[in-house]
Amino acid sequence: MFHQNTMTYRLTGAWQMQVRMNSIEATLEVTPQECCQVQDEYYDSLQEYNPNAGGYARGTALRGVKADKCSTRYAFVPDSLTVKLAAPPHDTLLPGIDFKLEPEWGNIGRLPDGRLAAPQPVLCSYQHTKQRLDAIVKTKDGNIVLRQGVPHVCLPVPPPLKEGDTHLANVFIDVTTTALTDDLVFPILEKAFPEPPRTTPTPAEELLPKTMVRLRTGQPLRILAWGDSVTCGSFVDAQDRWQCQFVRRLQQAFPGAVIELLTEAWDGRSTGAYLQEPPGSIHNYQEKVLDLKPDLVISEFVNDAGTAPEVIRDRYEKLHQDFKAIGAEWIILTPHYVRPDWMGLASQKNIDADPRPYVKTIRELAADNNIALADAALRYGRLWRQGIPYNTLMTNAINHPNAVGMKLFADALIALF
């Protein structure tokens, strides 16, 4: 049971909950997620099944479960798939002989010894579920009601509030939810991240003095956003990438500034991968980072999160020396939260403290070396307090933030200034 001032709730059935606020009480019935039926969905061809790829990439993702560059895990309903040839007489294809299914991910690939040729069209029929984020609100006339959100395979949002509504909580229905649990009820504990009081000097004035001079005097400032797929940001509109959101806000804060933004990003790679690339490579560290002569480097590498802390400390100390040698200042972004099981999380609630050793290491390293740190992880860790299961911001249901998720990076960066 959750208590927030005068609000309480308790689960009274698999899909039922009782909510009380002051003297107002309501029993709310939550609708289970809808099982969607897809009939004869047309595909020009199926890619060949690749047993060596990750489960999310072994075949063609069925459209009903498709997310950015992969699919939403467990959204496909097992044993619901039928595959037929698109051309008459629409022969039914056999699993394990003509094609292979990855049931966790809902993707299928043709098998080389089966009846399906590489360019041959097929029709797929199957079932899948979607996520939903419902809202518990107190209406302007004093009633407590549940409003359904719009279902989506990986990016559900709560319904818009109406005039006079007080938003009390969100209820998350995942693709695999079979009954309500406390982990799925997200009371609204705060409206937004509690920004720390502005200090004098600001973190940027203290740790990025050369950058501040350029911002204030109109001298050109070259900013390099350096990172992995999150910095590449191919899954959101260009204007919504974290570095673009940040630079727009920085320009607004310093209207006379002359800011040039460069981006160097490599999907699926780490700082270590950059350092290993030979001269002439399209991602050689010396040529594509240092030789650009940035005034300010902002690094984002969630792909470094699996590297041993001692390796990270040594590597980042080298980066720091390299940046100082070219006269560049540095901001380290802590990473966003990724798929819960990848982080060892059993829930998307009560997760203020980031459990990853990488985050602890770079926070300590930044403090020890007077490096500016923009703590996006801190903001992700409090989303549950705002009623948001953080993974509902991931366009691939794994680790690619949408525009709202990208904004948290920009929020952390602008807070330094």
Fold for the domain defined by 203-414: Rossmann fold (3.40.50)
Q: What is the largest CA-CA distance in the chain?
A: 76
Statement: residue 382 has pLDDT above 90: yes
Q: Please write the tens of the pLDDT for every residue from 308-350.
A: 999 999 999 999 999 999 999 999 999 999 999 999 999 999 9
Q: Please write the tens of the pLDDT for every residue from 240-274.
A: 999 999 999 999 999 999 999 999 999 999 999 99
Please report how the helices 309-325 and 357-369 are oriented relative to each other, as an axis angle in degrees rounded to 10. 40
Q: Please write the tens of the pLDDT for every residue from 189-243.
A: 999 999 999 999 999 999 999 999 999 999 999 999 999 999 999 999 999 999 9
What mean pLDDT, rounded, does the chain reach? 97
Ranges of each domain in the chain:
2-33+131-187, 35-129, 203-414
Statement: residue 3 has pLDDT above 50: no
Percentage above 70 pLDDT, the chain: 99
pTM across the whole model: 0.94
Band (pLDDT 50/70/90 cuts) for residue 7 is confident
Q: Please write the tens of the pLDDT for every residue from 106-143.
A: 999 999 999 999 999 999 999 999 999 999 999 999 99
Band (pLDDT 50/70/90 cuts) for residue 4 is very low
Q: Please write the tens of the pLDDT for every residue from 8-31.
A: 999 999 999 999 998 899 999 999
